[in-house]
Amino acid sequence: MQAAPLLKDLVLVGGGHAHVHVLKSFGMTPMPGVRLTLIGRDIETPYSGMIPGFVAGHYSFDECHIDLARLAAWTGARLIQAEAIGLDRANRRVLLKDRPPVSYDLLSIDVGAAPSLDAIPGAAEHATPVKPIAELGRRWLAFVERMKDRRAPLRIVVIGGGAGGVELALAIDHRLRQIAREAAISVTLVTRGDILAGNATSAQKAMRRILAARGIRLLEKSSTTAIERGVVHLEGGERLEVDDVFVVTEASASPWFTGTGLALDGRGFFAVDDTLRTTGDENIFAVGDCATVLAHPRPKAGVFAVRQGPPLAKNLRRALLGQEPEPFTPQRRYLSIIGTGDGRALATRGAWSVEGAWVWRWKDHIDRKWMRMYREPPAKPMDMGARAAPPDPALADVEARRLLADIGMRCGGCGAKVGAGVLTRVLARLGPSPGSSVTIGLDAPDDAAMIEVPAGKALVQSVDFFRTFIDDPFVFGEVAAVHALGDVWAMGAKPHSALALAVVPAAAERLMEEDLFQMLSGARRILDHAGSALIGGHSGEGPEAALGFSVNGLVDPARALRKGGLKPGDRLVLTKPLGTGVIFAAAMRGRARGTWIAAALASMRQPSSAAADALVAAGAHACTDVTGFGLAGHLAEMIRATGRGDEVSVDLHLDALPALDGAVELFAQGFASSLQPENLRARHLIEGMAAHAGHPKLPLLFDPQTAGGLLAAVPAEMADRIDGVVIGEVQVRSEGRSFIHLA
């Protein structure tokens, strides 16, 4: 049975506390016909309540961050790692940094806020802001490494006397005294008003006492006038000499909010009504620190973002069904628990406060319980089958009714082609390929493209095609183009032109257009950079997205690289790390860390043009690209292609094999690509398998690669001129010796 087409795009911008709840809610109870997309700048989103504990050393980075790649995989959401920079509301598109916009039918924004650095001259250049929290986490880890075993005095200033500033000052003091025991630690907390303003008087008094007991200097009613390198200037002329400054002042809105044309509050945050919908656009919701509920203004605190998750999920569902969202009233009084960094905490609510070690244990229990909901996979798989059910009739606008009538009888043959109108609009949005030397191509469409081959050049051709393995169509387009061009680069040729073969799932016409545009936009980025014109192709419907290219390149026949040609004494050089197969095998099961996936995709999106040029310049004797057959399979091809295949062998150094982050760890956990067993058939060509059976990198030999690097044999004296890793040497093959010998 063919799955029902997609009808609506629900897009979440930002991985804030409310949005992670929406992800899980829609994962547990999907809305058939609705595609959920999360756009986030960071692949790991922090839980703000645990960050002071992380700074103090009580939590690891992983324990206080939610892996959005895993959460998206578990819940069936599409994840796009990109930074939002604006909205095109007229066309319902989210504008993104360094890539095309993403369209939406319904949008929710949860991108948080950051301290206002502009209010303090020099803060942007010489201070560390506490937000974005994800950036603070990375910078703090680096800072801790630099401070380990420090003996010189260490002076820290924290600016901001709210709960966040107080917690950070106490956490920094505790952590530094643990890692730099021989250094004289001095922490100063500066606030322009009273400490913990707006909290109970008893809480303020208790915190002053705690700070004094810990030796942290407190400067209340002291405004910071400027920050220079190594100096903080205060109102009244006092100068504080510092080694580092942390700013935890009043939050400010992102500058791009102003350009959206949406209603904002007096501080520049999105103005929303009590349903969490923006007051100027019924198709846009906003929550968390980036928004202000006009009827119920509350402090910018994580507790309110967490509580907004359930009503937001409910109202997004109602909006998708064409129903009016329901109002939500946040609590007026709320519990605030402020950790003191040393295993104790101060709790305050209304007029009362209490402190002690048990308060910290209480807070720790609450925080860990919340994190477990989003860091651990569900006890049973999400109801993925619901996505194939017919869409809710309540979604049936005119276009939906037409599509619903077509379910189960989508045409095949030429009837499965993407409509001409969709193609025309996509090609218009893409624009012509720059610098094309094609005689007839998309600039002047005809029944076929026509290429003139310059004198003295040979035409190199190859083709590759595969179904998608990631949810981001733009990135998929980039990877598919790099993968297809790999054969051209491996022969030392210059890419010239390409024909695309694209498949998109059946959906509402505007969604099919968007998917096709995103895929081809990603491909065009790679093709344009390589000097290859997109000259045509074919597009059609299918059960899932797929993309491939027939690529052309031009090469001087006398300088073309071949698989064969290995010479004894050559060094084998590999230009990219291995492990894409196992990483994405695990990713499909929601078991690969987001940072591993991001690093793998960065490698896969890296063109091999510079590496190919360097190999040609170094006089490489042979070259191939490492793809589906894995390193062992492609190396065996090179050995066979050299003469009769019995002239040379290769000493391969397992320890030298470069591996993507996470690949070796995932092999140890039992993950492997579905093609790995087929590739293992090459093991009979390898000597030393038994002796190295326990080597952690042995499975890398058989891991299929997508958009992998180049494997080349170069003269020994030229190997250090290649940006790659030497993994072995070519030897004269003695009688009885295997193709590949593990060293």
Please tell me the distance from the alpha carbon of residue 560 to that of residue 616, in angstroms, as a whole number.
8
- Longest C-alpha distance within the chain, in Å? 88
Count of CB atoms situated within 10 Å of the CB of 434 = 9
Amino acid making up residue 572: L
Inter-residue contact 326 to 174 (CB < 8 Å): no
Residue with tokens 């190919």: 612
Q: For the purposes of burial, counting CB atoms within 10 Å of the CB of 220, is it exposed (0-12), middle (13-18) or buried (19 or more)?
A: middle
Return the beta strands (E) in 543-599 as ranges: 546-555, 571-574
Q: Is 64 a catalytic residue?
A: no
Inter-residue contact 716 to 570 (CB < 8 Å): yes
Inter-residue contact 426 to 516 (CB < 8 Å): yes
CA end-to-end distance (rounded Å), the chain: 52
Residue with tokens 């004894």: 568
Amino acid making up residue 21: H
Chain centroid to CA 404? 34
Q: For the purposes of burial, counting CB atoms within 10 Å of the CB of 511, is it exposed (0-12), middle (13-18) or buried (19 or more)?
A: buried
Inter-residue contact 531 to 495 (CB < 8 Å): yes
Inter-residue contact 561 to 516 (CB < 8 Å): no
Q: DSSP 3-state assignment of 36? A: strand
Please tell me the distance from the alpha carbon of residue 141 to that of residue 179, in angstroms, as a whole number.
12
Q: Which candidate in 64, 290, 411, 414 is catalytic?
A: 414
Please tell me the distance from the alpha carbon of residue 169 to that of residue 159, in angstroms, as a whole number.
9
Residues with catalytic function? 414
